């Protein structure tokens, strides 16, 4: 996330080029809300998500938003 996260994602893509790993497995988002939106659209039953980051990045916001989303009845 954020500008430093963008550089990390670019480095990961460069390192993975030619490795056989799908480059779309690396995704950059600007902030917590962007992470939640991106994950909400992709999570499927049985998926596992590890949210790792500093307390300063308030990663608990992502966990709380995803937990609330997943607790809702699905249409």
Mean pLDDT of the chain: 83
Q: Which own/partner contact pairs does 27-35 have at CB distance under 8 Å and 24+ positions apart?
A: 28/1, 29/1, 29/5, 30/1, 30/2, 31/1, 31/2, 32/1, 32/57, 32/58, 32/59, 32/61, 32/62, 32/65, 34/1, 35/1, 35/62
Q: Is the pTM of this model over 0.85?
A: no
Q: What percent of the chain has pLDDT over 90?
A: 24
């Amino acid at each position: 996330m954020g500008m430093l996260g963008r550089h990390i994602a670019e480095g990961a893509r460069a390192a993975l080029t030619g490795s056989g790993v799908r480059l779309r497995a690396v995704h950059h988002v600007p902030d917590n809300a962007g992470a939640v939106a991106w994950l909400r659209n992709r999570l499927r039953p049985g998926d596992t998500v590890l949210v790792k980051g500093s307390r300063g990045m308030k990663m608990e916001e992502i966990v709380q938003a995803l937990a609330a989303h997943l607790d809702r009845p699905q249409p």
